[in-house]
Amino acid sequence: MTIMNNVDCEVTTSQTESLENKKIWLWQQYASRITPSVQRVVEFAKRVPGFSDFSQDDQLILIKLGFFEVWLSHVTKIATEADALLTFDDGSYLTKEQLEILYDSEFVTAFQSFTAGLKGFSLSDTEVGLFSALVLLTSQRSGISEHKQISRIREKIAEALRVQIVRSRPGSTVSLQLMPALEAKIPELRGLGARHCTHLDWLRTNWTHIRLPPLFAEIFDIPKSDDDLN
């Protein structure tokens, strides 16, 4: 079910105002649907071997700056509708046209390319989890202090993913190509995360006009008022 079906947009005298209203409404729907995943990503991070040994500051940085990328790695494979470009855990989804209202066509094209590529690898749940852990353990995040420790843990996760790929595809030449292909996807995903953060500047500028769940505002460093949604 596309989430746009749930709203009757007000008729306005200005097409610009109408588009602005749609953008506000879509951001509110987007935020409400992605927020339950914040706690799930936090729990996922805690289960990554070695993650809890990092300093509290580094853990927070890795989760906050990596949340969107880890979340996107998890939800990429669950789309069931032909026109669904971004599917949420509850089964609702955003179409290409709706995402272009939130972002822009260039971002949506890059988004579509990444998600189609990752889905094309047909990863198992275990492989998705290990890939997501690699995405999470990015020691180059701004503010990180324990670069070497994070890199050591990341290499162990990478080796576990290599072993899993070979075991699940015995005798297949695909297994030799898949790991390098997945590693190459990570810079692409980081680029999407950086662009997503830039688009959130619109929310940071217009936050007084939009009701956002406090946890969504917190994970993405968006100002919030006391009467925001719980």
- Domain boundaries defined on the chain: 3-219
Sign of the Cα pseudo-torsion (25, 193, 48, 171, in order): positive
When pLDDT is averaged across residues 25-44 and rounded to a whole number, the result is 95
Strand, coil or helix: what is 117? helix
Give the pLDDT confidence of 168-192 residue by residue, as tens digits: 988 778 878 999 999 999 999 999 9
> Quick one: 3-219 is in which CATH superfamily?
Retinoid X Receptor (1.10.565.10)
Q: What is the pLDDT of residues 61-78, one digit of tens each?
A: 999 999 999 999 998 877
Residue pointed to by tokens 């855990």: 89
Q: Which residues pair with 93 in a beta bridge?
A: 2, 87
Question: Looking at the DSSP assignment, which residues form a beta bridge with residue 86?
Answer: 94
What span, in angstroms and rounded, lies between the C-alpha atoms of 195 and 69? Answer: 11
Give me 74's structure tokens.
């998890």
For position 16, what pLDDT does the model report?
Answer: 59
What band does 102 get if pLDDT is binned at 50, 70 and 90? very high
- Is residue 41 exposed (0-12), middle (13-18) or buried (19+ Cβ within 10 Å)? buried
> Which pLDDT band, with edges at 50, 70 and 90, does 12 fall under?
very low
Q: How far is CA 108 from the centre of its chain?
A: 14
User: In terms of C-beta density within 10 A (0-12 exposed, 13-18 middle, 19 or more buried), how is residue 222 classed?
Assistant: buried
C-alpha span between 209 and 215 (Å, rounded): 17
In the chain, pLDDT over 70 holds for what percent of residues? 88
